[in-house]
Amino acid sequence: MNIPQPFSVSSGQILLEAKGLSCIRQDRVLFEQLSLTVHGGELLQIAGKNGAGKSSLLRLLAGLAHPDEGDIYYRQQPLAQQAADYAADLCYIGHQSGIHEQLTALENLRFWRAAVQAPAGDDYALLGRLGLAGLEDIPCRMLSAGQQRRVSLARLWFSQGQLWILDEPFTALDQTAIALLQQHFLQHLQRGGSIVLTTHQSLSLQYAQLCKLELAYRW
Ligand SMILES: Nc1ncnc2c1ncn2[C@@H]1O[C@H](COP(=O)(O)OP(=O)(O)OP(=O)(O)O)[C@@H](O)[C@H]1O
């Protein structure tokens, strides 16, 4: 059975490309002349020691900061020329969980659905699947770190973006949640989606299209 390609860029085609990127923070060159490509259906893991510049690189790729040198292309066009399209096609989850702690898990999900114009869905069922049954209606500040991370990651179950950029998505998750998330990654890749992530943990599943970029720590 053929799985329909819901995304604008087909599997194997270049979705995101960076050429000659440099990033300087506090007078330290984190990286320079860094180039990479992300294809449809591909997972790119950015690895490296603490402080090597992984989060900084993800922020550049997400369009949240500008490189000191170099250019980023989305669907073969400069990012800056199609910022709105890129934002609609991107799900970025940073190091912080990004949840509103005064809102409940259910309210956070409803907020994100509205923000990305995703159709309404059974959020009780989704939260139950993520191990949060019975915790839907209490403020997120009362949840544990791992539970808050699960709420944050729930976006990936209704995101319509082809590209997911995820900074340390496994932080605070237990083994059950890590396995669930990795399974969800596989489904996204099999649909032709792409993922760029940082993690200090090795990916246990065998992704057909797994690339790894090691950022060296530079003094
Ligand atoms: N906005 C900023 N202003 C000043 N310095 C920054 C900024 N963002 C990052 N840095 C510095 O850049 C360096 C790289 O930080 P970054 O968060 O990108 O590293 P990382 O590889 O993601 O580290 P970790 O594995 O600890 O998360 C650090 O030394 C940090 O202090």
Q: For residue 153, give the H/E element and its range.
A: helix 145-153
Domain assignment present for residue 203? The answer is yes
15 or 207: which leads in pLDDT: 15
For residue range 101-119, list pLDDT tens digits in order. 999 999 999 999 999 999 9
Domain assignment present for residue 6? The answer is no
pTM: 0.94
Atom 3 of ligand 1, residue of closest alpha carbon: 25
State percent of the chain over pLDDT 90. 83
Which residue out of 56, 214, 215 has the highest number of ligand 1 atoms within 8 Å of its CB and is therefore the one to mutate? 56
For residue range 64-87, list pLDDT tens digits in order. 999 999 999 999 999 999 999 999
| 114 CA to centre of ligand 1 in angstroms | 31
The mean of the pLDDT values for the chain is 93
For residue 38, the SS3 value is strand
Atom 31 of ligand 1, residue of closest alpha carbon: 51
pLDDT band at 217 (very low <50, low <70, confident <90, very high): confident
At residue 203, the pLDDT reads 79
- CB distance 156 to 112 below 8 Å: no
Distant-in-sequence, close-in-space partners of 130: CB < 8 Å, separation ≥ 6:
150, 151, 153, 154, 157, 177, 180
- Please count the structural domains in the chain: 1
149 pLDDT more than 90: yes
User: Residue 140 maps to which CATH number?
Assistant: 3.40.50.300
Domain assignment present for residue 5? The answer is no
For residue range 122-144, list pLDDT tens digits in order. 999 999 999 999 999 999 999 99
- CB under 6 Å to ligand 1: residues? 25-26, 30, 48, 50-56
- Residue 81 structural domain: 13-214
Q: What is the ipTM of this complex?
A: 0.95
